[in-house]
Structure 1
Amino acid sequence: MGAGTNNPLSGGGGTQVLLRLCCEGHNGIVNAVTWSPDSRYVASAGDDQTIQVWDSSVGATFVTHVNEFSSTVWSPVDNRIASAAMGGKVQIWDAVTGTRLVTYTGHPGTSSVTSINWSPDAKQIVSASKDGTILIWNVATGTTIASYAGHGQTITGLTWLPGGKRIALVDSKGMVQMGNVTKGRILLTPQKQLAGVNTISWSPDGRRVAVVDLSGQVQVWDAITGKVLLAPLAQLQGVQGIAWSPDGRQIASGGNGKFQVWDAATGKLLFTELGSVYLISTISWAPDGKHLAFTSAYGVEVWNITIATLLLTYRGVNWNAAPSMAAVSWSPDGKRIASTDSGAAYVWLALTE
């Protein structure tokens, strides 16, 4: 593990940006990073199948979970982490102490858990395994309160809709479905079949869904009825990243060297900007809805979209050896940005105020 604080690095246009923390505890690509609700702690997950939790205020990694993890999600209300593990297990951890609180077993045989998510009130967890089995757990008791078997396809994306009574999922064949929980069963309703899915993103109110298919087109439709709300948007090639603004009024997408921002109600293209010269892979909106951060092989770029201006470019310590950034996430308070690359995770001061 390595950590650094108050290190100036060269940003966009020669601007000095502040590297708050650099953690080099992973072996290989760090492909996910997520913040605690209070913006203090950061969890990172890598190809080495470990989860590290670090205190962004003091620059120290203090917990490392070593296991065969496929995904990890922070509780929306406290400092617990749910992790999806190999062997059909779901585990809950105290992120601060590193204590494993409970292990749920219920997925068939040794089928890997591929997706996991907390309900908005953190009282339930939904998980899906490689064989297509979906389970909903009571977090307090560890019991299964609803299930669905026989889906037949690997679930690649899984989320709760606002209100915590419905789930939405997408499988490896591009089928998007909604699920209602009734008398211990999950009733799935097919909404739309796509020719493969690169990225899927639900609007903040859960009423609309934006999907990027394998051709790079973005479609927006009603999440309940499946009705197309916006015809395929005139997209860039190679679209990978897509994200709704916090108020649900705009959609940002990123492709080969450019990103675009759309009016989510009308489909009007608000602007197209030349960002990185490389493929833009992930996009994150700031909580204020005025700033965007995205990742590419060039680093992390931060833009003020109200004036279409590039503010900063962040590059990590592995830039020369492995010029890529895999993930990016704004802290809930909007003051810092976490990003990851090959073997390291970073916290930067956002410097947008």
Structure 2
Amino acid sequence: MQLTKHWAAQLEDYVIDLGWSADGSRLAAAASSGPLSLFATADGARTDLPGHDDGANCLAWHPSQLLLASGGQDAKVKFWDASTAQHTGSAEVGGSWIEHLAWRPASSGPSSVLAAAAGRHLAFLNADGSTKHTFKPAPKTISAIAWQPAGGCLASAYFGGVCLWDADDFFAQKEFAYANGIHALVWSPDNRWLVSGNQDPSVHLWLPDTTDEFHMSGYESKVKELSFDRDSHWLATGGGQDACLWDCTGGGPEGREPIMLPHEARVCAVAFQHKHGILATASQDGVVQLWSPERPKPLRATVKMPVPATKLAWSPDDQFLAVGSEKGVVYVLKCEA
């Protein structure tokens, strides 16, 4: 297996977020200074969007349309028609920086709902920018959000816990206490596990359908990097110089030894493919590696990038790996057997 350069492009600043459209035809990237760029997957042909005057924070593609949402330090969520590169609407959430965006999964039905978080405020927005529902403020600043894959609820984290908000009736389904800061949230694709990466540093797992929860500590640094494989078997985490792979089958990972995937510098990103079992990891020395967890020798490929990655994102068909970098370069690498 090998990773080869497909194309690359230079943004004006640090790549703060990037992601692929649902049909895989376009890659969107946000520079921390504010502008957005749309790239054609085939050849890297570029269209620039003005983005956010005071700086961009996040972006999210609609799960079935060429509609892009972006959030910025101008306290606005902006909506963009990627087929025409036109701004189609804006919304505000609590008057604070928009720090987190996530569309409700398409599998949950025809409703297009965007969850947007700013400070302690959370809202559900419609695709035209109108507000569907505004929730009561969280106890502390919202630090992460994640839709349940089935689309029934949204998990929202803050210092002190996680709340599951019903997607249709907007009530709090459950609340989980956690007495520390939470940096990241991810659901397993089978909806069984909800996982947080934490400040303490640790990883915490809840089984929302039960009262069970599990805890893995001993990380070198706070855990911001989380990714599940397509089968909900493996949970990949950062939080140190090695990426960790936890077996989440059966009774779960607590008490099991993780598989350690070594780097020579701190891991800064992890991302499993959507349809296949390859894991991509990146470290602060610029190295990007591919792994097959089921193999006795899991390492499949290594490439050395000029600068460290900020984000990793697989295209929907898993053919391309997008790498955002600290120096503002977006690399698209082709993955070939």
Distance 2:36 2:314 in 1: 26
Question: 1: CA distance between counterparts of 2:59 and 2:138?
Answer: 26
The answer on whether the counterparts of 1:278 and 1:298 sit within 8 Å (CA) in structure 2 is no
Q: Structure 1 81/248 Cα, relative in aligned 2: closer, same or farther at 3 Å?
A: same
Runs of at least 4 residues of structure 1 off by over 6 A? 1-5
Decide whether the 8 Å contact of 1:118 with 1:126 is kept in 2. Answer: yes
**For the Cα contact (< 8 Å) 1:82–1:92, is it kept in 2?**
yes
Gapped regions of structure 1 (runs ≥ 5): 308-353
1:60 maps to which residue?
A: 86
Asked if 2 retains the 8 angstrom alpha-carbon contact of 1:295 and 1:301, the reply is: yes
Residue deviations 1:119-178, cap 9 Å, x none? 222221121222x122112222211121123x2101111122233343111221122121
Tell me the distance in 2 between the aligned counterparts of 1:240 and 1:2.
23
Cα drift, residue 213 of structure 1: 1.9
Give yes or no for the alignment of 1:162 onto 2:189: yes
Alignment of 1:95-244 (within 5 A): 95=127, 97-105=128-136, 107-108=138-139, 111-130=140-159, 132-149=160-177, 151-181=178-208, 187-196=212-221, 197-214=223-240, 216-223=241-248, 224-226=252-254, 227-230=256-259, 232-244=260-272
TM-score normalized by the length of structure 2: 0.77
How do 1:1-353 and structure 2 match up within 5 A?
A: 17-19=44-46, 21-66=47-92, 67-68=95-96, 69-77=98-106, 78-87=111-120, 89-95=121-127, 97-105=128-136, 107-108=138-139, 111-130=140-159, 132-149=160-177, 151-181=178-208, 187-196=212-221, 197-214=223-240, 216-223=241-248, 224-226=252-254, 227-230=256-259, 232-255=260-283, 256-266=285-295, 267-275=297-305, 277-296=306-325, 297=327, 299-306=329-336
The answer as to whether partners of 1:4 and 1:59 remain within 8 angstroms in 2 is no
Q: 1:102 to 1:126 in 2, by over 3 A?
A: same
Which has the larger Rg? Answer: 1
| Cα 1:236–1:145 shift into 2, 3 Å | same
Extract unaligned runs of 5+ from structure 2: 1-33
Instruction: Check whether the contact 1:118–1:124 (CA below 8 A) recurs between aligned residues.
Output: yes
Cα deviation digits, residues 259-292 of structure 1 (max 9, x gap): 11112223522121233x1112211112222221
Q: How high is the sequence identity, in percent, across the aligned residues?
A: 20
Deviation at 1:187, TM superposition (A): 4.2
Task: Report the CA distance between 1:243 and its aligned residue.
Answer: 0.8
The Cα shift of 1:106 comes to 6.1
Distance 1:274 1:189, change over 3 A: closer
* Residues 93-131 of structure 1: per-residue CA shift (max 9 Å, x gap): 002x211011121633xx22222122222221121222x
Report the alpha carbon displacement of residue 248 of structure 1 after superposing the two structures with TM. Answer: 4.5
Checking the alignment, whether the CA contact within 8 Å between 2:190 and 2:232 is kept in structure 1 is: no
8 Å contact 2:71–2:101 — kept in the other structure? Answer: yes
Q: Name the counterpart of 1:315.
A: none
Paired residues, what number?
Answer: 289
2:25 aligned partner? none
CA distance in 2, matches of 1:181, 1:198: 21
Task: Answer whether contact 1:257 1:280 (CA < 8 A) is retained.
Answer: yes
Distance, in Å, in 2 between the alignment partners of 1:2 and 1:195 is: 34
Root-mean-square deviation (CA, aligned residues, Å) is 2.8
Shift of 1:64: 2.0
1:7-35, Cα deviation, whole Å (9 max, x unpaired): 99xx9xxx97411x321131244232221
Q: TM-score, normalised by structure 1?
A: 0.73
SS of equivalent to 2:232? coil
